[in-house]
Amino acid sequence: MNIHRSAFGRALVLLSIGLQVGCGGSSEPVSLTMSIDPTTITLGQSATITWEWKTPDGGSCHASGAWHGDRKSRNSNVVTPTETGTLTYTLECIESINASSHRSRTMSVTLTVNAPAASASARALTTGRTLVDPRFAYVTNAFAPSVAVVDTVTNQVTATIDFPTGSVPFAAAMLPDLEKVYVTSLDAFSTCGDNTGVFVIDTASNAIAAGPIAVGCEPTGIAITPDGQRAYVASQLSDSISVIDTATDSVSATILTPDGGGLASIAISPDGLRAYATGLGQSPVLVIDITSNTVFGMPIDAGTNSSGIAISPNGALAYVANTNDLGSVTVIDTATNTVIATTALDDYPYAVAFTPDSALAYVTQAGVNDNGEFTVSMIDTASHAVVGSHITVDGFPTSIAITADGMQAYVGNEGSSTVSVIDTASNTVTTTLGGMNSPRGIAARPLPPPILVLVPDVVGATQAAATTAITSAGLVVGTVTQQASSTIARGSVISQDPGAGAQVVSGSAVSVIVSSGESSDNDSSSGGGGGGLDWLVVYFLTFLAALSSRGPLSLGLVVASARVPPSRRTQEHERR
């Protein structure tokens, strides 16, 4: 009797599955989790939104409220508000089941943004300095030596900082605390003349506070470490990288390039451990160990005539723009320092910038190679493919910066002496700023340094315990894979990636392999011969299918009509 109940139970389970499939729905649950940390900040600070949309069939998410645009199903996004008050960030995620039905979830988080203790024009720091408003960007004017200060809320030039006659302001970078902007300069009158070096702008007074700091000849690239303690300057004609101590504004080290090749630009990883410098002509990309200020590993062959370089905010990728005859963007995996993709782009790709969520890279195209069009293209960092339509800007765009909130991109058009302002939600130019003179570099507020956390050890823990440990560490659960194991109990973690003790950016994913138990060739044959009545299951389902064919309900099952003969053991039992 117990055997018959077991077979009948299996039939009911299969019947339940058939009803679910036949009704066109999925019984697997969906869930949307969303959080923001911290929940209260002061104007000028940032918060991180983390979310995960769990669904068996995938789907898409869309942001609204204080942020906007499409989002991946699992990610984190740094937001830097430019206004005070209570801001609501809403996310709606949708899973399409079929052409006529879908499932969706909507969640919101709120962020309280308080005004600083002092007025906006005099926000005192504990050091006694006055902090600049974080919404300002700085644009270098190469041929009318000056730097324009742009209000990124009103998109108006609010100040102009004059540079010495004969200087050529070129690249610019801002300290994370916003106190200083460092600007490289060439000399207009002679190669490596007196105006060659780095000038320092005090952002409280918008005046030159120091410089020129003597660095290599023709410094065309500059990047600042996430902790703000050092600026790295790449020079074209001296075959070197100069390291500036930002506390003293003096050169503390000089790194010589191994092959004697000149350098064009430089970028620093978000963890502050590596610098990547592009080389001129056939020169490869150099990797610098910032701890020791030495060349790290082998140079990376990334293409010819490399110009701009940028590293994604999550630290995973470096994109290199190559202004060679064909035009391309080389993608470097920073974990292995190897080239993993090359994206073809004509029209002279020149400068690169990433959105704060690392989802897109914006690349300027200076219009030299093909049809003379001046555009900005977008590359999806998951597929490394160009997405959307080209954004038309003004002549010869050679610089780009994206604001810390990711809402606007500023493009310096050297040929037309303008700056194009792109709304990244619609990817259209909303404003064109005139009055520039060959803008070569743009410094917008840098993203805050990422929060690094240690990956917990979850091997041997149950899946539930591992999930708790991972999320408690500020991380998210990545891919969960089932695998048979004779040594690890069913439901416990066999292995994890990254491994225990690894230091990763907060919000990163940890994937696990979970034991499904010991494998068996024929589970149904154990435990007293229950498999001998599989014919009963098939017979019962055939009977139900026949009944359902007479009515409006379809079970959604295809059942073999052939009768499965009983086993020899059952036949002997019947004879007795």
Q: What are the domain boundaries of the chain?
A: 136-443, 451-519, 524-576
Q: Cα separation of 480 and 93, whole Å? A: 21
Q: Cα separation of 20 and 555, whole Å? A: 8
Q: Is the pLDDT of residue 302 over 60?
A: yes
Pair 77, 355: CB distance under 8 Å: no
Q: Cα separation of 464 and 238, whole Å? A: 57
Q: Do domains 136-443 and 451-519 have the same CATH topology?
A: no
pLDDT tens per residue, range 421-476: 999 989 999 999 998 999 999 998 765 556 678 899 999 999 999 999 998 888 88
CATH hierarchy code of domain 136-443: 2.130.10.10
CB atoms within 10 A of CB 214: 12
Pair 446, 439: CB distance under 8 Å: no
In degrees and rounded to multiples of 5, residue 574 shows phi and psi of -70, -40
Which residues contact residue 92 at a Cβ distance below 8 angstroms, ignoring those fewer than 6 apart? 61, 62, 64, 104, 105, 106
> Does the pTM of the predicted model rise above 0.75?
no
Q: Is the pLDDT of residue 64 over 70?
A: yes
Pair 138, 206: CB distance under 8 Å: no
pLDDT band at 260 (very low <50, low <70, confident <90, very high): low
Q: Cα separation of 130 and 133, whole Å? A: 10
Cα within 13 Å of Cα(427), Cβ side: 18
What is 240-257 written as a DSSP string? EEEEEETTTTEEEEEEE-
Q: Cα separation of 150 and 144, whole Å? A: 17
Specify which residues 9 forms β-bridges with: none
What is the average pLDDT value for the chain, to the nearest integer?
80
pLDDT of residue 19: 39
Q: Is the pLDDT of residue 37 over 60?
A: yes
Three-state SS for 31?
Answer: strand
pLDDT tens per residue, range 117-169: 433 333 333 333 444 556 789 999 999 999 999 988 888 998 999 999 999 99
Counted residue by residue, the chain has a size of: 576
CATH hierarchy code of domain 451-519: 3.30.10.20
Ranking 32-41, 52-61, 402-411 by mean pLDDT, the lowest is 52-61
pLDDT of residue 306: 81
